[in-house]
Amino acid sequence: MNETILLIEDNESIIMGLEYLLTEEQYTFLVAKTKKEAQDLLAGRQVDLVLLDVSLPDGNGFDLCREIKEHDIAPVIFLTAKDEEKDVVLGFDLGADDYVIKPFRNRELVSRIRNVLRRTEKIRRLTCGNIAVEPDTGKVYRHGEPIAVTKLEYKILMTLFSNPHKIFTREEILNGIWDMAGNFVNDNTLTVTMKRLREKLGDKEGNVIVTVRGIGYRLNL
């Protein structure tokens, strides 16, 4: 199992209860208590499912659901005390995968989580801005449209996506991009390949792959 579930909730008792419940079920449990915390966390972590309250200290869960669905980040289950029909309908209209009313029954919630994960299981996608990479298929997307990259270009992207917050030196990248014949790629080839990759990503200004002068490269999260 080991899927990662993000709970966006500011009620401490609910947080503690769900942390115990979901870790017992062998899920990786993450929590954000505000909309801002959730946005920051989702920008840097791969999440398999979001449990989302509507009433957040710094915003509205409906707005956050809209953002999550627009960027195709993860399935969403609303977990909220808002039980009026208009709220439930709005949640589903925004793309929510389920809507659970508080107070909820633990075993029923776990069953609903499993059901949503089965129903929405798909190819894993890593994103940075308008660029997405699917490690399982080797495909790269720009603004949702597939783009053709070479094997060396793909290896560079996967090196950067392997640790999105890390600054990779040129030497570290070179060590990870042996060519098809098993030969070591030289520094000049890296420069040329990086230039071509940025052109394909529409990233001539370095807004996706940032050059850290004198060190190397990192993703711009």
Q: Give yes or no for residue 12 having a pLDDT over 70.
A: yes
What's the whole-number mean pLDDT along residues 102-117? Answer: 95
Residue 216 has pLDDT above 60, yes or no: yes
Degrees, nearest 5: CA angle 35-39-45: 135
Task: In whole angstroms, give the CA distance from residue 113 to residue 55.
Answer: 21
Q: Does the pLDDT of residue 181 top 50, yes or no? A: no
| Sequence-ordered list of residues with C-beta below 8 angstroms from that of 58, at least 6 positions apart, any chain | 34, 35, 36
The pLDDT tens digits of the residues spanning 65-89 come to: 999 998 888 999 999 999 999 999 9
Residues 9 and 102 in one domain: yes
Query: Could you tell me if 8 and 109 lie in one domain?
Result: yes
Mean pLDDT for all residues in the chain: 89
What is the model's pLDDT at position 180?
A: 46
Q: CA 115 to CA 184: how far, in whole Å? A: 47
Give the position of tokens 């966006």: 8
Residue 178, CA atoms < 13 Å, CB-side half-sphere:
4
Specify the pLDDT at position 46: 82
Domain that holds residue 43: 4-120
| Residues 137 and 193 reside in one and the same domain | yes
* 52 three-state secondary structure: strand
Residues 52 and 96 in one domain: yes
Q: Are residues 57 and 100 in the same domain?
A: yes
Over 90: is that where the pLDDT of 116 sits?
yes
Helix segments in the chain, DSSP class H: 12-24, 35-44, 61-70, 85-93, 106-120, 151-161, 170-175, 187-200
Average pLDDT over residues 119-135: 80
d(CA 70, CA 48): 16
Digit-coded pLDDT (tens) for 20-61 = 999 999 999 999 999 999 999 998 888 999 999 999 999 999
CATH number for the domain including 130? 1.10.10.10
State the pLDDT at residue 57. 94
pLDDT score of 184 more than 70: no
* Torsional class of 95: left (φ above 0), alpha (ψ -120 to 50), beta (otherwise): left
- Domains of the chain: total: 2
